[in-house]
Amino acid sequence: MNKVEVIKQEKDGLDVWNDVLRYATEGFSAIAEDDFVRMRWYGIYQQIPKDGHFMMRIKVPGGIASTEQLRVIAAITDKYARGFADVTTRQTFQWHWLRIEDFPDIVARLDAVGITTMGACGDIPRNIVTCPIAGLHPEEILDSRPTVEAIHRLTAGNKEFSNLPRKYKLSVCADPEQCVMPEIHDFSLVGAINPATGEAGYGLRAGGGLSTQPHFGLWMDAFFTPDQAVDACRAVTGIFRDFGYREKRTHARLKYLVADWGAEKFREKLVEYLGYEPIAGVADNSPKNTYRDHVGIHKQKQPGLNWIGLSVLTGRVTSEQLYALADIIENYGGGDIRTTVMQNILVPNIPDANLDKATNALRAAGFQWEGSSAHRGAIACTGNEFCNLAITETKGRMIQIVNHLDHSVKFDRNVRINMNGCPNSCAQHHVGDIGLQGCKARVAGGDQVEAYDIHLGGALGQNRSFTHAIHRKVPAEKVQYALENLLNNFNSTTQNGEEFNTWVRRHTDAELDAFLGVETIIGAPDTEVRRSPESVN
């Protein structure tokens, strides 16, 4: 049995909160080593260099935060997190630079507005993601928000599911683009139609996950009504709890169990846990292309209302911007914001008459919604600025790359550039159009520098595929020039308006490597990488 399993057997992660309160009084040096692991169940991780500062994530189901909640998030950002927060790929927020003494007040403020941190990290159901325009989408199959809320109520703080073999990521969506990428989550409900009655509900996909061994989730051919969605979650989560592998941490995600069992056996066990047979005959309805960032100004299905999708480069925002957002949605919108799985922010329910006022206020706060495709599609993990696992810096480097591409390339196609500081794929480089995986490289003279493996070929939907490395160990300061070469070669060789991932598929690895032109990049300047809090937007 691995060490974390022993720690969980000795005390449940959800039972550590009273210890956190005690440590807040006694100080950082009093924290027992095993409790650093359990504190993850409340979204708390030590940040590098483990000198007394912490990162904390919260849960924001479906990425929806009210005006009141946003003001509390802004106040915590301002008081405790040195003035900045990060929007994550799980549609929530995380802070850095927190101290153990800060947590009682932080959690009390969050509790007062209905926000929890229970299950934000740890071997437990994580924050549930959904389409950020759920309820607004002109072509959605149904509104997924009630299902998201019901599953959140089932899982949040529930000891029935607080000791899973490993992390457990959930998604619910009913938009035709399936923008939350259900293929890469442990548990995904996907909008579907009952083949017998035409009723709107959900199909089920299970066993997705990335990290160092990526798997796409399998379609389970089971239809659930909205009222049965909680049953589906309880059953799949229970199967993972009871049959998931616990011997090795690196082989403990649900994806390994699903891959070993296959869809047919897993569905048989699902029926057993449900206690009834779900309707079969539900075809996998994956779209042809799942790219959808929702950035820009768009009409909602409600007449006279609009949403504005903001492009937030690397997801980093300041407390001043969060306060400004709260004022904007209170004065001009519908009283909430939506965060997205691409680290962006969406402002919904803005009446036609308020659009000019809202956009002027957003622009004054430093937001943009008309950025380049590189700006809109850039995703970066935390990187070695704060993460103990990361090898390379990410957010400042991504800002540098996007700024360079914006000034050097005319590019008018969708593109997702996903940057990870290590192989663990928190920023999902396995499914990006361009995936950048952090590493180290030796350069002339023998010095070791930060570098990236450049991966291409990721796609979701019907033609889904994972990226693979085209050129390894590219020094970090040369990556922007290699991507410039790549996109310029796309511009000169593209055919019939094809998307970037289609273009990649019709070229060999050798051709793509030649397009990158890494070996021809000479004398690239070693440019400075900006770090927080300056590296915003």
Categorize the per-residue pLDDT at 217 as very low, low, confident or very high, splitting at 50, 70 and 90.
very high
* Cβ burial, residue 174 (10 Å; 0-12/13-18/19+): buried
Find the mean pLDDT for residues 82-103: 98
Q: Average per-residue pLDDT in the chain? A: 95
Categorize the per-residue pLDDT at 311 as very low, low, confident or very high, splitting at 50, 70 and 90.
very high
Categorize the per-residue pLDDT at 492 as very low, low, confident or very high, splitting at 50, 70 and 90.
very high
Q: What's the gap between Cα 191 and its chain centre?
A: 20
State pLDDT tens for residues 228-270: 999 999 999 999 999 999 999 999 999 999 999 999 999 999 9
Residue 248: strand pairing partners: none
pLDDT at 464: 94
Give the C-alpha separation, 316 to 532, whole Å.
9
Structure tokens at 228: 């049965």
Give the C-alpha separation, 286 to 412, whole Å.
25
Asked if residue 528 has pLDDT above 90, the reply is: no
Categorize the per-residue pLDDT at 529 as very low, low, confident or very high, splitting at 50, 70 and 90.
low
3-state secondary structure of 158: coil
Categorize the per-residue pLDDT at 484 as very low, low, confident or very high, splitting at 50, 70 and 90.
very high
Structure tokens at 342: 């691409």
pLDDT at 523: 61
pTM for the full predicted model? 0.95
State pLDDT tens for residues 431-473: 999 999 999 999 888 899 999 999 999 999 999 999 999 999 9
State pLDDT tens for residues 45-68: 999 999 999 999 999 999 999 999
| Residue that has been written with the tokens 């309707």 in this structure | 279
Task: Go through the domains of the chain in sequence order and give each one's CATH number.
Answer: 3-112 (3.90.480.20), 145-274 (3.30.413.10), 296-372 (3.90.480.10), 375-520 (3.30.413.10)
Give the C-alpha separation, 116 to 86, whole Å.
17
In sequence order, which residues have a C-beta less than 8 Å from that of residue 275 and are 6 or more positions away?
none
Structure tokens at 300: 């909602």
> Which of 214, 261, 233 shows the shortest CA–CA distance to 144?
233
> Which of 385, 301, 317, 313 shows the shortest CA–CA distance to 349?
301
Find the mean pLDDT for residues 307-318: 98
> Which of 424, 386, 338, 317 shows the shortest CA–CA distance to 92?
338
H/E segment holding residue 146 = helix 145-155
- What SS3 string covers 471-537? EEEEEHHHHHHHHHHHHHHHHHHCCCCCCHHHHHHCCCHHHHHHHHCHHHCCCCCCCCCCCCCCCCC
Categorize the per-residue pLDDT at 536 as very low, low, confident or very high, splitting at 50, 70 and 90.
very low
